[in-house]
Structure 1
Amino acid sequence: MLYWVMKYVLLGPLLRVFFRPKVRGLEHIPAEGGVILASNHLSVADSFFLPLMVPRRITFPAKREYFTGTGVKGTLKRWFFTGVGQVPIDRSGASAAQAALDTCVRLLRAGHIVGIYPEGTRSPDGRLYKGKTGISRMVLEAGVPVIPVAMVGTDKANPIGSKMWRPYPIQVHIGKPLEFSRYQGLGGDRFIERSITDEIMYALMELSGQEYVDVYAAKVKEAQAA
C-alpha cells in the first residue's frame, strides 16, 4: 500500500512535474511473472524514476542499514525506502552475498520484478562499467528473463555529490527481453556466468549509448579515493 501511495500520491506527481520523465519500450515488460530489470546506474535518482515509469511494482535489494535506524530520522528513512520498493539485505559477513542472492531468487520465483544494477555501484563518470556475475546466478537459479533498461539524464538531475536535485528531462529506455534458458543446469560454471553477464552489459551499452569500460566501477572509485 505504501509503495502505491508514494508512486501515485506523494512522490510520483512531483517527479513528473519537475523532470518530465518519458519511457519507451514498456511493451517489453510482461504483465505477470518473475523478471529481472537490469539497469545502468548513473545516479541515486535511477531508483526513483524506474519504478515511477513501470506499471508493475519493482523491488530493489538495498542495504539493511537503511531500515535499522532509530528515532524519528530512522523511522522516516525506513518508511521512505519501504515506500519506494526496496527490501533490506544484510551485506555484512561471509554469507551476505549468498543471502542477497537467495532473497532475490525467492522474489523472482514468486513472480515479482527485481531491479538490479549489474555494475554494483553508480558509474563514477557516466561510462558503463563491467558487470558483476551475481545477476547471472539469479538468472540460472530462478530461470527468468532479463530486460535491459537504460536510464538517461538522471546523472544530470542528480549529479554525484549533489544534495539538491536539478530539473532535467529524464528518459527510460526499455529493451527487448534477453532469454538464457539455453544455460539452465549450468549454474556454478564461471565461464557461463561471465558470458551471461557480458551479454547483458552489451545490451545495456547498445541501449544507453554509453562508452563501455571493462573494469569494475568499484575499483575505479577506490583508485580515485586513493
Structure 2
Amino acid sequence: MATVIMALLYVLEGAILTVTAVVTGIKHSEFPDVRVGYHVRDAMESKEKWNDANVIAGLVSGVFAVIFFAAAILVYWNRIDTDISIVLFFILSAISIGSVLLIPTYLLKMSARLRKKAKTVIRNILIVIFVIAAAWIGWLCAYYNTKNADNLPSLENLQTEDLDDLVGYQRGQLISVWDQPDDTISIDQDVWHLEGEEYLLVTYGTSGKVKDAEFVIP
C-alpha cells in the first residue's frame, strides 16, 4: 500500500509540474498583461524578458515533470525501496521547485543571446530525457509482459493447474528448462515424456508461443 501511495505522490507532483509547464510555457498572458505567468520583477520589464522567463520556466517544469513520472513507475514496480523513495521525493521536490523559481530569474540577468542559447539547451535536455524515459518504460513493459523461463516448473513437478500458465512461453524457453522434446509431431506440436505412459503435448501458435498444453496417454 505504501508503494502505491508513494507512486501516486510522484504522479501528483509530475501532474503539478506539467500544469506549470503548460501555463508558463504556453498559456502565459501576453505582455503587458502579466496576470498569468512567471511573476518576478525582472520578467515584467519588457515583452522579451516576460516571454523568455515564461518559456524557460515552462521548459524546466517539463524536465522535472518527466523525471517525476519516470520515478513514479520505478516506485510502483518496486525498483526503489519505500524509504529511499520518500527521501528521493523530497529531494526532487526541493530541486524542482528551486530550479523552476531560480533558473529563469538567474537567466534574466544574462543577455538575450545567452537566454536564447539556454532555452535551446534546456529544450534539448527535455527531449533527451523524454526519449530515454519513453524507451525505458517501453522496455519495462515488454520485460514484465514477457514470460520468464526461471518461473517454469520442472517436468517432474508439473501439475494440471500449471498447464494454463504455460501459455505464452516460447518454445526455446521450454527447451532451455526441459531439454529437447522426446518427439516432435509437427512444427506446431512437441511431446515430452513424463512418467509411465503419460506425456505432455504442447501446441504452439503462429508466433512460436505456447497456445495449449495437455497431459495425454497414448
- What's the TM-score bracket when you normalise by the shorter of the two chains? under 0.3
Higher relative contact order (CA 8 A, sep 6+): 1
More strand by share: 1
| Structure with more helix by fraction | 2
**The structure with more radius of gyration:** 2
Normalised to the residue count of structure 2, the TM-score between the two structures is: 0.26
